[in-house]
Amino acid sequence: MQPEYIEYLSGKDIMFQLSNLKQLTFEATDACNLQCMYCGYGEFYEEYDNREDNYFPVDKALLLIDYLTELWNSPQNISSKRNLTISFYGGEPLLNMPFIKTIIDYILNKDCRNRTFSFSMTTNALLLHKYMDYLVDKNFKLLISLDGNEGHTSYRVDKKGNSSYSRIIRGVDLLREKYPVFFDANVNFNAVLHNRNNVQEVYNYFKEKYNKTPRIAELSTSGIKAEMKDKFIKTYRNSYESLRQAENYEEIEREMYLDSGSFKSAVFYLLHYSGYVYSDYNDLLYDKCSDIKLPTGTCIPFSKRMFVTVNGKILPCERIGHQYSLGQITVNTIELNPDKIAHMFNHHLSKIAKQCNKCFNACACVQCIYHLRNLESRPVCYGFMNEIDFKKYEENQLKFLEKNPDAYYHIMKDMVVEL
């Protein structure tokens, strides 16, 4: 029996999000000068296009920018001078530096009166020594991939299996020495958690060496190849469990703040259940958990960002399988049909709606539907909570907030939460 189709979104809703886009991310190239075993495009995973050392065609990127600029300058744009972040991703984006420079020059010279622009990049830093002057000049926000010390970083090897650690550190140290103010303000690190490191060791390394609190990310559990499941399980490490094993876990948790699972969970609880958080005037007038709401915690397409693959596929973010692309950049046009996108979104959400209606934590769900197995047949939500589960969840949030009153203060007083 097919689930009832429910129209949650329309094409107009999609056009509104495009007109008020906050971040545009280009996969500058799918080529990389490293071959990390756990890479999201590596041996563990499927659901992405083949890596063929392609470089993003400049003309297609400019075509997309022209298309979006018309929307940003249209009446559907509701903000004046909103900042939009142009991000570059890979592969290793610094391998396609001519593309990056062309895009930045083009967009800074566009007649886009309702937008200001900033720039960011995720990089492995191997080519940082060649391009740091330009990155500093354009005030890039840099997220450098590094898993800790040399042993922690031993999965990050080049094509010949050689360690990349000393080369990464050489570039990072040169950047800090040459541009200390920029380094302090604009550089952060992303460490992947696995069976060769742990939260305490990674945290201590970056605090001692660079006085930075790194982001510590678990391996993605979505899209694992069946034949790689056992090897993946041996490599995977849970961040919450690893944090709890640290001797100074409370200090680490405070420093990590929103990158900590406990803080994230408390934020969502307070946001949706405290009754004291309002994002706009409508929140004051209407119940935030009304009968009319979107199932799951899936983002409305383009409400956070647009991600464009090197092959021209348009997706709502880089974490979603390429089979769920919402459009395509062709030689002469942007194939992006708002009504078709809304229909696909509604079709998938309708499949999970009955489960969501019975879930006691439906108001604060963070589960992305595109990370569920069997989406096209009978998806099952991993985050489903019955009444007993929800009471345990609520008790845990209250215990955490009672134990960490400073966390409550910062969440309620100082934070702007982007959901």
Nearest C-alpha neighbor of 93 from the set 135, 151, 155: 135
* DSSP-derived secondary structure for 25-42: EEE-BS--S---TT-TTS
pLDDT of 259: 60
Structure tokens at 84: 């939009």
pLDDT at residue number 418: 42
- Beta carbons within 8 Å of 188's beta carbon, 6+ residues apart: 141, 142, 143, 144, 212, 214, 215
Higher pLDDT, 337 or 248: 337
> Can you tell me which residue has the tokens 């409400």?
303
pLDDT value of position 365: 87
Distance CA 403, CA 78 (A): 41
First-to-last C-alpha distance (Å) of the chain: 34
Average pLDDT, the chain: 89
Alpha carbons 178 and 170: distance in angstroms, whole number? 12
Instruction: State pLDDT tens for residues 93-135.
Output: 999 999 999 999 999 999 988 899 999 999 999 999 999 999 9
Q: What pTM was computed for the model?
A: 0.89
Tell me: the pLDDT tens digits for 12-67? 999 999 999 999 999 999 999 999 999 999 999 999 999 999 999 999 999 999 99
For residues 380 and 409, the answer to whether their CB atoms sit within 8 Å is no
Q: Could you give the CA distance from residue 34 to residue 192 in angstroms, rounded to a whole number? A: 15
Give whichever of 3-7, 247-251, 331-335, 374-378 has the largest mean pLDDT.
331-335
Q: Write out the two tokens for 69.
A: 């600029």
- 385: Cβ contacts below 8 Å, ≥ 6 apart: 359, 360, 361, 393
The whole-number pLDDT of residue 282 equals: 46
Lowest-pLDDT choice from 134-143, 160-169, 292-301: 292-301
Average of per-residue pLDDT across 351-364: 91
pLDDT at 414: 59
- Say how far apart CA 292 and CA 204 lie, in whole Å: 46
pLDDT of 101 reads: 98
Find the helix packing angle between 199-210 and 249-256, rounded to 10°.
60
Encoded tokens for 311: 């092959």
Beta bridge partners of 11: none
pLDDT tens digits for 196-231?
Answer: 999 999 999 999 999 999 999 999 998 999 999 999
Burial of 113 (0-12, 13-18, 19+ CB in 10 A): exposed
**pLDDT of 250 over the 90 cut:** no
- Kindly calculate the radius of gyration of the chain based on its CA atoms and give it in whole angstroms: 22
pLDDT for position 382 = 83
**For position 261, what pLDDT does the model report?**
66
Kindly state the tokens that stand for 350.
Answer: 């309708």
Least confident of 114-128, 262-276, 318-332: 262-276
SS3 of residue 185 by DSSP: helix
